[in-house]
Chains A and B, each alone.
Chain A
């Protein structure tokens, strides 16, 4: 059985003017120990997806359709108590800003011990022992001392290590990391990503990495989901997506990465901006910005097409596939 299975998920935000679809047609499975990356622009619904997996959507968001199955259990059906037993314990989440995710008035040790004691029946001493062990796993220097320090006494990178240690505290099966390195400088970013990769591999933990950094995704993940306006428009093995992106939006994202190339060359950006969720165009949401747009794109929402190991939502790719098939059939005859 797969660890996490998201089936036809649709998340809406109930606004006064009517509901707005923040996520739609979300369909994927995650195996034990598998690492996937979710990329996309700001506002594409990456974080909402992370929150809806944990059923932590705050008002006015709600799950309108579909299910999130964790080991076959639909998280939306669970009582708050049962959900509490899964959160933190089986699935943990790491947030963007380590300055904000630690409570400023509690010591590191208190926060870790509290988390452990909320889920396991152990003594304070034993909990402290486990906390210490986890701090060592994330390579924090002199961990004994850190346990009694407050978050403001530590640097940003150190804090993010501690946040990761808290995420690992209960040996979860799945970690959702929501832009875990955005608030850190580049050298620390690399260290933290390496650390996460190592820890996930060693403990066989599945990872959902939410980021807008394709570089990070290519280093760490095995599969990549590209999101645009609440939809996964391309998913497949990371390597295939980086090397041979099918969807024009993904191609645009990859082209927009700064390259060590010719001096003075302009960065190729994707023109325009993502539509607000109230005004998602009919048909393909990307059509107003797409270079290959056709009349069909403007009116019909593209379905998913298989292309190699990838699944793409694009009329152009669909057309190309169809032609390929036709010519293959033709040559067979």
Chain B
């Protein structure tokens, strides 16, 4: 008996390949290209220490005499530095690789923090309802009425002023993750709450209550999986947003220090030299950042269309 069942049951891979998800991926060029580019970014970020010809974090390899060399295809370019060098003589290509890595780490970790806070708060608010709901959602409203940038600038500036630049530089990445993560949780909380309110009325929730399951279990095991698709969609957008926020903060001098540059601080560090003709220090990392955010947003759009049953085209 069991043998027959096993033969007929499609494996995970087979199921995946027959799914609507895979099918719509196969027919959507934009999604495929975005996905490929995104994977390329991920690989570049993960393998940065192996791909990069120089280590931008190691001051010993930097020669100030190499500063502001243009990309190698220009007349004054040096073939040793493919994309040229920045004001401190670091190889721009290596720095961009490491910068992408920093940007992605901050983006993803900050969104994980947002999601954790937002999902828990949204679930509780939606499921418990009443006063708890009002209280939590008013907190979210208050949080949303401060712009992310403002909160981040105030917190980071105060931190920098109280604890000094030295400590700040060491903790910059952690601080950015915390600030961006905490400032944006209401996005998740609201989305999750809205879905929970819709799911809570369905009979399977009543049935689970009738079974005598504890409330936490109903929330996390029964309701949460049913609200996953909107969470997935906003996650892609939120990662892109977090990367932009980090870049903006770095550009303002409140983000990653110049010694461990992210894409944003690279753009910022080149900005002083843009009028002296060294455009590449700002423009190239800028393009890389735009590309990264663009593919994430395109993937998010595609995901939203796929997961929206109203747009199901069969």
Which residues in A have some Cβ–Cβ distance to B below 8 Å?
54, 56, 59, 83-89, 92-93, 95-97, 100-106, 114-115, 118-119, 142, 144-145, 148, 163, 166
Q: Is the CB of B2 within 8 A of A101?
A: no
A145 to B2, CA, bound (A): 9
Partner of B209, one of A56, A85, A86, A100: A56
- Is B203's CB under 8 angstroms from A118's CB? no
Q: Is the Cβ of B203 less than 8 Å from the Cβ of A101?
A: yes
In the complex, the answer to whether A59 meets B130 with C-beta atoms within 8 Å is yes
- Please tell me the number of chain B residues within 8 Å of chain A, measured between CB atoms: 23
Q: Please measure, in the bound complex, the distance between the C-alpha atom of A56 and the C-alpha atom of B218, giving whole angstroms.
A: 15
A100 to B222, CA, bound (A): 13
Asked whether A95 lies within 8 Å of B206 as measured between CB atoms, the reply is yes
Say whether, besides A103-B226, A148-B9, A84 and B204 are in contact (CB < 8 Å): no
A86 (CB) vs chain B CBs: closest residue: B212
Q: A59-B130, A118-B217 are in contact. Are A102 and B204 (CB under 8 A)?
A: yes
Contact of B212 among A97, A104, A119, A142 (CB under 8 A): A119
B212 near A89 (CB under 8 angstroms)? yes
Q: Which residues of B are found within 8 Å of A163, using beta-carbon distances?
A: 207
Q: Are A145 and B212 neighbours in the complex by a CB distance under 8 Å? A: no
B212 and A84 within 8 A (CB): yes
Contact residues in A for B130 (Cβ distance below 8 Å):
59
Asked if B211 and A103 make an inter-chain contact with CB atoms under 8 angstroms apart, the answer reads no
Q: Is the CB of A144 within 8 A of B1?
A: yes
The number of inter-chain residue pairs (CB within 8 angstroms) is 73
Closest A residue to B205 by beta carbon equals A103
Within the assembled complex, what's the spacing in Å between the Cα atoms of A88 and B208? Answer: 9
Known: A104-B226, A144-B1, A144-B2. A85 touches B204 (CB 8 A): no
Closest approach, in angstroms, between the C-beta of A57 and any C-beta of chain B?
A: 12
Question: Closest B-chain residue to A149, C-beta based?
Answer: B9
Complex contacts, A148 vs chain B, CB 8 Å: 9
Q: What's the Cα separation between A84 and B218 when bound, in Å?
A: 13
Residue of chain B at shortest CB distance from A163 = B207
Contact A92 B211 (CB under 8 A): yes
In chain A, what residue has the closest Cβ to B213? A118
B9 close to A56 (CB less than 8 A): no
Q: Are B2 and A103 in contact (CB under 8 A)?
A: no
B225 interface hit (Cβ, 8 Å): yes
The residue of chain A having its C-beta at the shortest distance from the C-beta of B223 within the complex is: A103
Residue of A nearest to B218 (CB): A103
The answer to whether A118 and B222 have CB atoms under 8 Å apart is: no
